[in-house]
Amino acid sequence: MSGGRLRALLRRDVLTICLVIFMADTVTGILSPTFSLYAEDLGASLTMIGALSSVVGLTQFITSMPIGVLSDRYGRRVVVALGMVEFALATALFALAPNAYFLFPGRVLFGVALVSTFSIGTAYVGDVVSREEQGIAFGLYTTAMGLGFGVGPLVGAAVAVGFGIAASYGVASALALVGAGVALKGLRPVRPAQTGSLTRRAGFTWGAVGPLLRNPHLVAGNLASLLMSASFSAITNFFPIYAAESHASQAAINSMFSARSFGSALARLPSGTITSRLPSRWVMFAALLIETVVVAGMAQTNALVLLGVLLVIEGIAFGIFLPSGQALIIEQSTAETRGQIIGIYSTAGSLGSMVGPLAFGVIAEVFGVAAVFRVTSGLILLGLLVIGCLYVRKRPAPGVRVTGVG
């Protein structure tokens, strides 16, 4: 990629959405290393911890398509700003929860916020950059995410050590409100092409999804999103508990997650650049293969240094996956269908976030936390085989738009 193209991307709309997403993932970074242990302190069992995470996935599953369509109709900026407000409300509810059951309403809001910010932010990037800029643009976008998710645990640990975990959630709430203001002030209004989209003219119908899902690139991307979301939920919900069982302190766990996120962030911009040169599906497939091996390795050790190294490598795999998966999906969209296709992609990811944690919670309760990582690795390997079969046996159906080679 030329330096001129990178400089062209460093403009207000791209930089602002990257800043907003950085702040959103700082909020999630404050929560992720501490939430399962916080829930345990409030009385949650391992199964209930899985259920608390599954509620987020269920909410994403229900809301992904409607929110995607709303962003097609009314523009991305307001949806993203509302998502940041939802983050603020969710984290405030976590901070005030008197017991584990009171965490559920906040988890619902948190799920809506994830769709409204990260998924619609992806659609916004697709709206404001050209096809030639997409690879590096998604590299920048996901790098901002990774940096936020790296800074979040450090901020959270600093506040939690002095004032408690609930206080760190209060800081997250305040940061999210600032992010909402940045989104409203800095993002320019963007909607699909003025000719109007199918969703704006006729409203969303599930019948419109069928032709889209006859495209093997979209099916592969959505299945990959489901698998990576399930794996991410296993890491965020059960790695802290696994590390704590291995005698890691909360500060050490936060540091591990921070190192993971910085490693992930460093991988994202190069990965975005690579997808401008290589088929994005190849890059995505490689990321899932690395994820399979590393997660399996976590189940084989309780040495904290080795666990930290494996977590960083897992973060790198996740960092490779994000821009390649997003590029694969955006390549198959038009301005009129982008919100809908992103909604489908987010829905697929939410299935992994919904079913995975609840199943993993039961597995952890019955067989131990290490078993969660073994099962996760096996599921990804099985999914890779299915994706391989998709590309061998299927071709895009006549009339289904396929742009580029993925």
List the CATH number of the domain containing 15. 1.20.1250.20
- What is the token pair recorded at 125? 């990037």
pTM over 0.85, yes/no = no
Number of structural domains found in the chain: 1
Residue 197 falls inside a structural domain: no
Which residues span the domain enclosing 56?
3-188+208-393
Q: What is the pLDDT of residue 356?
A: 87
How far apart, in whole angstroms, are the C-alpha atoms of residue 79 and residue 57? Answer: 19
Contact 382, 296 (CB under 8 A): no
Residue 264 falls inside a structural domain: yes
Residue 402 falls inside a structural domain: no
Query: Greatest CA span in the chain, whole angstroms?
Result: 61
pLDDT tens digits, residue range 171-185? 999 999 999 999 999
How far apart, in whole angstroms, are the C-alpha atoms of residue 276 and residue 52? Answer: 38
Residue 93 falls inside a structural domain: yes
How far apart, in whole angstroms, are the C-alpha atoms of residue 359 and residue 201? Answer: 40
Q: What is the pLDDT of residue 2?
A: 47
Residue 80 falls inside a structural domain: yes
Phi-psi sector, 368: left (phi>0), alpha (psi -120 to 50), beta: left
Residue 201 falls inside a structural domain: no
Residue 196 falls inside a structural domain: no
Write the DSSP string, 158-200: HHHHHH-HHHHHHHHHHHHHHHHHHHHHHSPP--S-TT--HHH
Residue 401 falls inside a structural domain: no
How many angstroms from the chain centroid is the CA of residue 395? 28
Q: Which residues of the chain have pLDDT under 50?
A: 1-2, 4, 193-204, 395-406
